[in-house]
Amino acid sequence: MSQLTPEFKLISEWITPNSRVLDLGCGEGELLSYLIETYGVTGYGMEIDPRKNIAAIKKGLNVIQSDLNRHELCDYFDNDSFDYVIMTQALQVVSRPDELLRDMLAIGKQIIITFPNFGHWRNRAQLMFAGQMPKTDTLPYHWFDTPNIHMCTFKDFEGLCESMQIEVMARTVVNAQHESTFAMKLAPNLLGEVALYKVQKK
């Protein structure tokens, strides 16, 4: 198995052994493989890229090829089919994040989700002083080739959760290297570059 990314390590700390897991946008299945081997979870992955899909299946994983923008989760799975539905670095690329969150909470008891913070001070500075869309370690694309269509800040996401009656159970705010500092805890929306949230229905 390839070395686990720092983000995946942080996510794994929130997983209960022998739980049921769905990994959306699972790629080649690195996280799901680790959770199965280390925590004894059972679960599925969903991935749009056919090459990554095949690579994950070759690892013995149950992976469905599907586009998250087609809102097919509730067609594939019954309500409360999973203890955790995980989605990493994909909230900002889907067409309707709110509708996808609703579907995730229908089939899963808890959601673990990660995304970059558009409110980080470097992004604000590039917009203010350079007059250009930000390009950073966590937002590495140019404005014309980025897959990101719904950038948000931590406050934006928590506001959406509040409006949808979603409870934030846990939050970890880190920098691009997935390290946390005391200052980030004091001003997460300004100093945090990436957030990991665990949420559930109120």
- CATH class entry, domain 6-117+148-201: alpha beta
pLDDT tens digits along 109-137: 999 999 999 999 998 999 889 998 889 88
In percent, the amount of the chain with pLDDT more than 90 equals: 82
Domains of the chain, by residue range, sit at: 6-117+148-201
pLDDT of 3 over the 80 cut? no
The whole-angstrom separation of Cα 166 and Cα 12 is: 22
Burial classification of residue 117, based on how many CB atoms lie within 10 Å of its CB (0-12 exposed, 13-18 middle, 19 or more buried): buried
Q: Please compute the mean of the pLDDT values over residues 159-180 and round it to a whole number.
A: 96
The whole-angstrom separation of Cα 188 and Cα 58 is: 40
Q: pLDDT band at 147, cuts 50/70/90?
A: confident
In percent, the amount of the chain with pLDDT more than 70 equals: 99
Q: Please compute the mean of the pLDDT values over residues 62-81 and round it to a whole number.
A: 93
Mean pLDDT (the chain, rounded): 94
pLDDT of 1 over the 60 cut? no
pLDDT of 169 over the 90 cut? yes
Q: Please compute the mean of the pLDDT values over residues 154-176 and round it to a whole number.
A: 96
Give the model's pLDDT for residue 2.
55
Whether the CB-CB separation of 110 and 170 falls below 8 Å is answered with no
Tokens of 129: 């002083």
pLDDT of 25 over the 90 cut? yes
Which region, left, alpha or beta, applies to residue 47 given φ > 0 means left and ψ of -120 to 50 means alpha? beta
pLDDT of 197 over the 60 cut? yes
Q: Please compute the mean of the pLDDT values over residues 145-171 and round it to a whole number.
A: 94
Give the model's pLDDT for residue 149.
86
pLDDT of 59 over the 70 cut? yes
pTM: 0.92
